[in-house]
Each structure stands twice: as structure tokens, then as C-alpha cells.
Amino acid sequence: MARGLPPRRAGRRAARVCVRIESGGCSDVGRIRTNNEDSFRIVAPLNLFVLSDGMGGEAHGEVASALAVDTVAEHCLEAENSPSAPVSAGTQTGLALKTRLLASAVRLANRTIHESAERHPEQRGMGATLTAAWVEGPRLSLAHVGDSRAYLLRAGGLTQLTSDHSFVAEQVRRGILTPQQAETSEMQSVLLRALGAQPDVDVDADEHAVLERDVLLLCSDGLTRMVTEPEIASTLVLERDPQKAAEQLVELANEHGGEDNVTVVVIRLEPEPGGWFSRLLRWGRPANGSRDAGGD
């Protein structure tokens, strides 16, 4: 697991599914804070990626985020190895098993953080955000609580896949604030939902179809408050190595002020040599490798 003194890095790992999945992650304390309350974990054998931003400062936000990523990773590993592992009930239906397992793991992480704070008075008030992604074949399973985000880069376009559970985001959704006003609001740090605050928590669980050459990004708000989405997209387009891309995004956040801890996980879905997408490209290409006479 990637923890310890910042900056922290997890090198690129590859796992085989219908595409080749390459990933990298980086976490840094930033330029203002004195301790890093973020945690992330890449479980390469499962194509599972988990990121958490701890809250609480002296109330051990770093403990909360570590508990969050460890609990999710261990629950999913247990479920993978034991088909009879329990899946806690949620309000959403019609989801694939892995998506339900991921949401169940997040609910378990919430209880673990809450119970730890109940047992240890010095931890009272700690909490965490969590965003987790699990890739299986062409399906991306997401589970999310808080304002850490998941993005999808496809054909150069960046799309936010998660909704922030924050006061200003809710004000924007209701039309009370504009996105521009939200960016400068002093209420940006106020969360409506986080792990550990209550014994139970609502978890956003969702599924998306993914394609070869897609890029997924998980990040804490230390990135999105410092770096614009066009800058994020440009970095992901220009730097194909996931580890280097993650490090460059962290560096950008620090160059822009580094007002918070910043953590980034980048996941690239590359075509497997000889896979269906590569064969499709070959079938559509003239035998001599040149373009058709009528092409552009």
C-alpha cells in the first residue's frame, strides 16, 4: 500500500483483461499543510483503485483515510477469493455484482471509521471522502462518498463521473450558485456526506462502459481546486505514462499554490496486441499500409 512520508508513489502495474490496464499514483503533502491526510491504494491483480481524503487534522484524518482504503481493498480481495462473502444491502438495484461489492466495501469502511472514533476519543471528528473504481472487462464500477472525484478522458474530452457531496456543489445543482461562484466560495470545504460521521452512509454506486484508450482519473480536491479541467485533460493527453502523468498533475497543483494535500491515480486502458480492437484496425487498413485513394 502506498503510505508513509510524502511524497508517495506507486509504480505502474499491469493486469490483463480484455485490455491492458496500466496505472500510476502519487500523493503529496502540498505547500501549506504539515501532514498528508490522503491515502490511495492500487490493487493491480483486481484492477481496483481506491483514493481517500481524510478530514479532522489533529483528529487523525490520515487514520480515517488509511482505514478507508485498507477496508475497501481488503473487503474486495476477500470477496474475490470467497464467493460467499457478505454483500450489505443498498438502496440501488440492477447493478452488477462487483458494483454492489464495491458499494458494500465503502459502507463497511464507513462503519470501521465510525467505530474507531467511538473507541478512541482522540479520533472523534475524523472522517474521509472515498472514490473507488473497479474495472472488469468493458465495465467500470464506481463507488463514491464526498468530494474526491473520478474523471473519464475519452478522445481528448474530460468528463466528471462523480457528483460532489458538498454544500457548494448542491447550491450549484439547485441554481443558487454559478460554477464560477462555487470556485471562490468560502464554503467549499463543507461536505454534506462523508465516511465516519454517522454509523451508516449513502453510497453513490454507478457503472460505465469503458473503451480501449480511455483514461480514468481519481483525485482528491487538492488537485481540482488548484488545477483547471483543461489543464488536467491536456496533461493526460500529452503524457501517456500513467505514473508520470500522476506526478505531473501533483506538480501542477503545487505550482499553483499547493494549498491542500493532493493525490492522483491515473489508469490507462490500452489495446492488447492481437486483441479485437487491434484486429479491427488491421481489417480496415489497406494491405500495403497506405490510405485509400479517396481518404483525407
Rounded to whole angstroms, how far apart are CA atoms 159 and 113? 31
Q: Would you say 63 and 116 are in contact if contact means Cβ atoms under 8 Å apart?
A: yes
Query: Which carries the bigger pLDDT value, residue 72 or residue 274?
Result: 72
1 falls within a domain: no
Average pLDDT over residues 234-242: 98
How many separate domains does the chain show? Answer: 1
Band of pLDDT at residue 219, cut at 50, 70 and 90: very high
Domain with residue 97: its CATH number is 3.60.40.10
- Residue 253: which residues within 8 A CB-CB, separation 6 or more? 28, 30, 222, 223, 226, 227, 262
Average pLDDT over residues 284-288: 44
Element spanning 206, H or E: strand 204-209
Task: List the beta bridge partners of residue 160.
Answer: 151
Q: Residue 12 has what pLDDT?
A: 47
* Residue ranges in the chain assigned as alpha helix (H): 61-81, 97-119, 167-173, 179-184, 221-224, 229-238, 242-255, 276-283
Average pLDDT, the chain: 85
Q: Are strands 215-219 and 38-43 parallel, antiparallel or unpaired?
A: unpaired
Orientation angle between helical segments 229-238 and 242-255, nearest 10 degrees? 150
242 falls within a domain: yes
Average pLDDT over residues 1-8: 43
Average pLDDT over residues 178-183: 75
Q: Which domain holds residue 26?
A: 8-283
111 falls within a domain: yes
Q: Residue 10 has what pLDDT?
A: 60
Least confident interval from 97-101, 179-183, 191-195, 261-265: 179-183
295 falls within a domain: no
Q: Residue 82 has what pLDDT?
A: 79
pLDDT for residue 250 is more than 60: yes
186 falls within a domain: yes
pLDDT for residue 217 is more than 50: yes
2 falls within a domain: no
169 falls within a domain: yes
Condensed to tens digits (0 to 9), the pLDDT of residues 120-158 reads: 999 998 999 999 999 999 999 999 999 999 999 999 999
Nine-digit cell string for 68: 478507508
Least confident interval from 64-68, 282-286, 287-291: 287-291
CA torsion, ordered 104, 110, 115, 116, to nearest 10 deg: 120
Condensed to tens digits (0 to 9), the pLDDT of residues 37-95 reads: 999 999 999 999 999 999 987 679 999 999 999 999 999 999 988 766 666 656 566 89
Condensed to tens digits (0 to 9), the pLDDT of residues 6-41 reads: 455 665 444 444 689 999 999 999 999 999 999 999
Q: Would you say 39 and 27 are in contact if contact means Cβ atoms under 8 Å apart?
A: yes
254 falls within a domain: yes
Residue with cell 501542477: 252
Rounded to whole angstroms, how far apart are CA atoms 282 and 27? 40
Q: Residue 189 has what pLDDT?
A: 74
DSSP annotation of 2? B
- Residue 281: which residues within 8 A CB-CB, separation 6 or more? none
Nearest C-alpha neighbor of 238 from the set 229, 253, 228, 248: 248
